């Protein structure tokens, strides 16, 4: 799967999960400062991404996923 495909899917998942306009979700979006995701929201999103991409994301690794780009790079290295 190419990075752009992963990026598009992550943007779709984030937009759906947080009820955002996908056109306003960019790679630089920060989960903590831009959408104020709490820990439960983020865990749910990580679970959705694991299901979507078939890749396990450890709790330790999930803590390092600060932006959409971080998340896409992480997933791209594992699928």
Quote the CA–CA distance of 10 and 68 in Å, as a whole number: 7
Q: Quick check: is 38 catalytic?
A: yes
Catalytic choice (16, 38, 70, 73): 38
Active site positions, annotated: 38
């Amino acid at each position: 799967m190419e990075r752009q495909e992963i990026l598009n899917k992550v943007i779709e998942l984030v937009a759906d999960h947080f009820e955002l306009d996908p056109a306003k979700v960019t790679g630089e979006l920060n989960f903590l400062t831009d959408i104020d995701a709490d820990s439960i929201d983020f865990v749910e999103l990580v679970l959705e991404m694991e299901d979507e991409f078939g890749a396990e994301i450890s709790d330790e690794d999930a803590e390092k996923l600060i932006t959409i780009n971080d998340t896409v790079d992480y997933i791209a290295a594992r699928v």
